[in-house]
Chains A and B, each alone.
Chain A
Amino acid sequence: MDALFIEFYHNTGFYLWDYRYLIMIAVGLVFVYLGIAKDYEPLLLVPIGFGILMGNIPVFQGLGLSIYEDNSVLHYLYFGVTQGIYPPLIFLGIGAMTDFSTLLARPILMLLGAAAQTGIFITFLGALALGFAPNEASSIGIIGGADGPTAIFLTAKLAPHLIGPIAVAAYSYMALVPVIQPPIMRLLTTRKERLIRMEEPREVTKREKIIFPIVAFLLCCFLAPAALPLLGMLCFGNLLKEAVVTERLAQTARNSLIDTATILLGVTVGASTQGDIFLVPSSIGIFALGALSFGIATASGVLFAKVMNLFLKSKINPLLGAAGVSAVPDSARVVQIVGQKEDPTNFLLMHAMAPNVSGVIGSAIAAGVLWSLMAS
């Protein structure tokens, strides 16, 4: 009987534990805490945080418990991540909940969404310089797109072994948008620039809204076909929303479908951060480069807006450039908050939504470009 107890004890987490699991459990708890108590991206941080707890229970091999064992339940669920299935489903939902009318009203703001993607490519160079392979560097750079599903999708295609740290870095920085962005925005703008008021946009017709996803899809995917899974689903979701006659499908896409995909993606990505695999020096490099990427993306957007102002008659508030990173709608809200600190009656939120949603398109194109360049 003693032998049985000892054998059982040897299979428990108390025997198999390792300090790395404990560190990751602490990280998971911080995520859950930030999500619940601080309301930082709770819909993402809570599933990922709990997933981290699930992935860091020390288990013995062979029973099919770890996400990295072929016959485990978590492994099957993780299939949707490694094969890039969940991100397009999430994009379908995002499309079904996004209103592109501010972008349609002032298309020039789309350039800010493009400028912010510069951060991706600068970080790509940084990652190469630090010794990462080109496919890994691409996946690290995309963190600056501030788009979790896109980062996961590209990493699944190019560097599946980095999904854990990249996803955790991407979502951590997205949750920290209100902390990371404002200092950069204030540093790069003068008070006078932050006080700039935007012109009221024109009214957008329903027909424009219906045509937009079709035109955007055809145009962008002809240019960067590798963006098809993400942009195709994004535009399809938006068409469902705007077409009205498909409201039932849009409802499903923006509610149950996106929620299901987010839960599965969050939990399995969290569970993939098993301490012994996750806590390696390259993860620290990824986190550092991720922060850099995010910072450069924000700065690129702001600086590009200032450059545009040199040529525009009707000036753009350069704070809007920060919304070019596609953390929707948080970075747009940050623009609103920073702008209102200077002038409480200046209302930038709606204008910031334009670069914000174009950032989603921009980061999907960037992911498609990197994927096709790496594949070739």
Chain B
Amino acid sequence: MYGLEAINANNGWAISVVGVTIVFSGLVTLSLVISQLYRVLALWENPSKIKTLFKAKQPKNQSEEFQEKEIIDQAVFTESQKEGAKQFSLLIRTMENHFSLPRLLHLAQISDLKNSHSNLNNLLKTNIIIPDGSGFFTWEKETFDKAIL
């Protein structure tokens, strides 16, 4: 049996429609749930957030201020360097928290990032990328935000 006859005989249309519907229902439900997840968590975490708001208002001690200034001083990026840094930040999101630096460089190269070596070096020098002590590296988001955004 071939053609439409075979499809009809084997209940093909119904199976396909049911299949596509279930796959869509599953992923649509999941996407709805996870799209609200961060709001729920934000509410859950609200008390601690309020605390941190108060903490943020306390005056910083001298060494903290000095360290911050030092990082920002180092992080004088040109516009093209900022663009490069942003592209690296996007690449890093596709990697693990503790990532391999050679792998990052490789990804940057196959993604045709301009001046990938120099831009990576800038990120290292400004402590936006720091070693984790086990041969891998981590991304310091706060430092990045201060220096680039």
- Whether both chains belong to one complex is answered with yes
Judged by DSSP, the binding face of A is: helix
- Do B16 and A122 have beta carbons less than 8 Å apart? yes
Does A190 count as interface, using CB distance less than 8 angstroms?
no
* B10→A101 contact, CB < 8 A: no
Chain A residues with Cβ below 8 Å from B41 are: 205, 207-208, 211
A128 touches B12 (CB 8 A): yes
| Complex CA–CA separation, A125 to B20 (angstroms) | 12
What is the distance, in angstroms, from B9's C-beta to the closest C-beta of chain A?
Answer: 9
* A224 and B111 contact, CB distance less than 8 A: no
Kindly state whether residue A188 has any CB partner on chain B within 8 Å.
Answer: no
Q: Is the CB of A120 within 8 A of B19?
A: yes
Report Cα–Cα, A113/B24, bound state, in Å: 9
Instruction: Tell whether A124 pairs with B94 under 8 Å between CB atoms, given A205-B38, A370-B19.
Output: no
Q: Could you tell me if A223 and B35 are in contact, using CB atoms closer than 8 angstroms? A: no
User: A122 to B1, alpha carbons, bound, how many Å?
Assistant: 18
In the bound complex, do residue A124 and residue B12 qualify as a contact, i.e. CB atoms below 8 Å apart? yes
The smallest beta-carbon distance between A60 and chain B, in angstroms, is 39
Check if B7 sits within 8 Å of A366, measured CB to CB. Answer: no
Chain A residues whose CB sits within 8 angstroms of the CB of B94 once the complex forms: 99, 102, 329, 332, 349-350, 353
Hey, which chain A residues are within 8 Å of B93, CB to CB?
Answer: 99, 101-102, 201, 350
Determine if B6 and A128 form an interchain contact, defined as CB atoms under 8 angstroms apart: yes
Q: Does chain B have a CB within 8 A of A280?
A: no
Do residues B34 and A373 form an inter-chain contact, with CB atoms below 8 A? Answer: no
Residue of B nearest to A118 (CB): B20
Inter-chain residue pair count (beta carbon < 8 A): 149
* Stretch touching chain A among B25-33, B58-66, B119-127: B25-33
Our pick among B20, B26, B110 for the contact of A219 (Cβ within 8 Å) is B26
Contact A110 B31 (CB under 8 A): yes
In whole angstroms, what is the CA distance A185 to B16 when docked? 24
CB-defined interface of B47-89 with A at 8 Å, one 1/0 digit per residue? 0000000000000000000000000000000000001000100
Q: A130 to B93, alpha carbons, bound, how many Å?
A: 44
Interface residue SS majority, chain B: helix
Q: Are B6 and A108 in contact (CB under 8 A)?
A: no
Given contacts A128-B7, A340-B112, contact A223 B22 (CB under 8 A): yes
A344: nearest chain-B partner, CB-CB: B112
Complex contact B12–A107 (CB within 8 A) = no
Whether, in the assembled complex, B133 has its beta carbon less than 8 Å from a beta carbon of chain A, the answer is: no
Check B3 against A129 for contact (C-beta < 8 Å).
Answer: yes
Instruction: Give every chain A residue within 8 A of B4 (Cβ-Cβ).
Output: 129
A373 to B93, CA, bound (A): 38
A102–B27 Cα distance when bound, in Å, is: 15
Say yes or no: B12 contacts A125, CB within 8 Å.
yes
Which of B3, B18, B33 has the most chain A CB within a 10 Å cutoff?
B33
| CB neighbours of B96 from chain A (8 A) | 97, 99, 241
Interface centre among A102, A114, A212, A345 (most CB of B within 10 A): A114
Complex contact B91–A349 (CB within 8 A): yes
CB distance from A271 to the nearest CB of B (A): 32
Cβ of B146 < 8 Å from any Cβ of A?
A: no
Residue of A nearest to B25 (CB): A223
Which residues on B sit within 8 Å (CB–CB) of A128? 6-7, 10, 12
Which of A29-37, A309-317, A357-365 lies at the interface? A357-365
Given A101-B93, A125-B12, A373-B15; A108-B31 close (CB under 8 Å): yes
Q: Which of A113-147 contact B (CB under 8 A)?
A: 113-114, 117-118, 120-122, 124-125, 128-131, 133-134, 137
- Chain B residues positioned under 8 Å from A120 (CB to CB): 19
- A89 at interface (Cβ–Cβ under 8 A)? no
Q: Which of B25, B28, B37, B111 has a CB less than 8 Å from the CB of A104?
A: B37
A240–chain B nearest beta-carbon distance, Å? 12
B31 partner residues in chain A, CB cutoff 8 A: 107-108, 110-111, 358
Within 8 Å CB of A111, what residues of B?
Answer: 24, 27-28, 31
Interface residues of A in 189-214 (CB under 8 A from B): 201-205, 207-208, 211-212
Q: List 18 A-B contacts (CB under 8 A).
A: A102-B94, A104-B37, A108-B35, A117-B23, A129-B2, A134-B12, A137-B12, A202-B38, A207-B45, A212-B37, A223-B29, A224-B26, A241-B96, A347-B87, A350-B93, A358-B27, A361-B30, A369-B19
With A99-B96, A347-B90 given, name 16 new contacts (CB 8 A).
A97-B96, A102-B93, A107-B30, A107-B32, A111-B24, A111-B28, A111-B31, A114-B23, A128-B10, A215-B30, A216-B34, A220-B26, A333-B110, A349-B90, A349-B94, A370-B15
The 4 closest A-B pairs by CB, nearest first: A107-B31, A121-B16, A114-B27, A110-B31
